[in-house]
Amino acid sequence: MGDEDQVLIDDGNAGGRVRRRNNADRGDDDGRGSPTRRAPSWASRVQTADMFGKIDSTQLDDVAFRTTAGGIVSVVCYFLMFVLFVSETSRFLFSNRYEHLKVDTSRSQMTEIYFHITFPAICCADVHVDTMDVTGEQQVNVVQSIWKTRLDMFGNAIGREFIDKDLSPKLYIQMPGIGLMSLVGTDHRIAEQRAGHEGCIVRGTLIVNKVEGNFHVAVGRSHKSQGHHVHNFRMSDLPHFNTSHTIHAMSFGPRYSGQPESPLNGWTRTIEPSSNREFPPIPRRVLLNRFVADAIVSGLFQYHIELTPTTFKSMLGRQLHTNQVSVNDYFKRLDFTGSASVSGMPGVFFQYKFSPFMVAIDDRRTSIVEYFTSTFAIIGGVFAVSTMIDGLIYRLSRPMRPYRSSPLLS
């Protein structure tokens, strides 16, 4: 006979019996007489992960066994424990940020304002920075901490950065009730810079009270008169004061780690001229459109800035005071082509107001006691919930079908 079929003959007392056996159907023989072992199924593999041993009360022997459902619940339990453990460890190793709101009682503090603005159509001789607040305090034509850079009509810098008070030792004099005023050379400088269609980059810092107020760049020179803030200018200056500008940076206090950028950074506002005259081509690298001096429109820009006082305390205990910024803007176009009078003064005004509440931000690290307490609570909590879920699944599945189990104890 061939290798495929074998015939077994039994000559015993029970009579001759013949049985045919096919070697191909023998699952425990590889054709050479040696037994083979089947690979465990996925259910068997999952059962080995079951950490919730069960005992069937209907059986006489108290043998614990594993289930497939218990293995699945255990795998999910292991995964959740690992993820939560890693999360808790990262919280322990790195700082955590806590924020809370409280009433601001630090009204006596001063606020530092930093700004960096480009006026491509206003010459530096026409750019004057003034501040005023609701208490009546005014800073007229601030020059001590304001730096300027002249720009040609194509946006290129002319010369070096300078401070107005350093132009000439005899150019300015302090006048009672008026402030720092120019004595010589002012009209000549303005005419020269206007004729060259110059622009100006202005940057600097202002120290103001922590109360509602504003700072601005407006047409004409300003001074105090009977407690009021007054700008002196000629009507012929108004059509040539183009207040197009770009705010490169503006902040109200130092910046802490992770603080969002000021929404004012990068804002560009441009006034298009109403005349049909063609203007000289400007390279694309210039931030704003340039207009020649006979543009017959101007505008009033107002920025309404809401400041939320903020204190930040680092992990090293260093504390700083700053402000978070939100802003709305408003523009009013001033057209001087008609004979009717125009209400409004060309300029850029930044009106700020402080919130009565303060945000306190504290960076600190979780203590070692909190870390171990949270870790053990995570392990115990996940295990307890997983045990409840596994027990519920086991009880619901028992009436439906017999449980296939693998013994834990042999």
pLDDT at 177 over 50: no
Q: List C-alpha distances in Å: 288 to 194, 235, 255, 264, 268.
A: 17, 25, 28, 16, 7
Are 303 and 327 a contacting pair, CB within 8 Å? yes
pLDDT band with cut points at 50, 70 and 90 for residue 193: confident
- CB-side exposure of 181: number of CA atoms within 13 Å? 14
pLDDT at 196 over 90: no
Residue with tokens 């409840």: 388
Please give the distance of CA 106 from its chain centroid, rounded to a whole number: 26
260's torsion region: left (phi>0), alpha (psi -120 to 50) or beta?
A: beta
Element (H, E) at 44: helix 42-48
- CA 350 to CA 131: how far, in whole Å? 9
The per-residue pLDDT of the chain, averaged, comes to 75
Identity of the amino acid at 339? S
- pLDDT attached to residue 23: 47
In the predicted model, what is the mean pLDDT of residues 178-184?
42
Q: Are strands 357-364 and 297-313 parallel, antiparallel or unpaired?
A: parallel
Q: List C-alpha distances in Å: 334 to 228, 245, 337, 343.
A: 24, 16, 9, 8
pLDDT band with cut points at 50, 70 and 90 for residue 112: very high
- pLDDT attached to residue 238: 72
Element (H, E) at 189: helix 186-195
- CA 146 to CA 164: how far, in whole Å? 8
- CA 117 to CA 243: how far, in whole Å? 11
Please give the distance of CA 34 from its chain centroid, rounded to a whole number: 70
Sequence-distant (6+) residues with CB within 8 A of 68 are 43, 46, 47, 50, 404
- CA 223 to CA 254: how far, in whole Å? 30
In the predicted model, what is the mean pLDDT of residues 308-319?
88
pLDDT at 403 over 70: no
Alpha helix stretches (DSSP H) within 94-153: none
Are 75 and 46 a contacting pair, CB within 8 Å? yes
Residue with tokens 């022997």: 61
- pLDDT attached to residue 118: 95
Please give the distance of CA 337 from its chain centroid, rounded to a whole number: 45
Give the residue with greater pLDDT, 104 vs 393.
104
pLDDT at 179 over 50: no
Residue with tokens 């292991």: 78
- pLDDT attached to residue 254: 92
- CA 84 to CA 87: how far, in whole Å? 5
Sequence-distant (6+) residues with CB within 8 A of 91 are 366, 371
pLDDT at 114 over 80: yes
pLDDT in tens, 260-292: 899 999 999 988 765 433 334 433 334 343 443
- CA 81 to CA 376: how far, in whole Å? 10
In the predicted model, what is the mean pLDDT of residues 168-192?
49
- CA 41 to CA 408: how far, in whole Å? 17
pLDDT band with cut points at 50, 70 and 90 for residue 350: very high
Residue 68: Cβ-neighbour burial (10 angstroms; 0-12, 13-18, 19+):
buried
Element (H, E) at 91: helix 68-93
CB neighbourhood size of 49 (10 A)? 16
User: Which of 120, 185, 180 is closest to 149 using CA atoms?
Assistant: 120
Domain extent listing, the chain = 44-94+366-410, 101-363
pLDDT band with cut points at 50, 70 and 90 for residue 109: confident
Residues paired with 174 in a beta bridge: 180
pLDDT at 368 over 80: yes
User: Which of 401, 406, 384 is closest to 64 using CA atoms?
Assistant: 406
CB neighbourhood size of 295 (10 A)? 22
Give the residue with greater pLDDT, 300 vs 226.
300
Greatest mean pLDDT among 234-248, 262-276, 347-361 lies in 347-361
The DSSP 8-state label assigned to residue 227 in this structure reads T
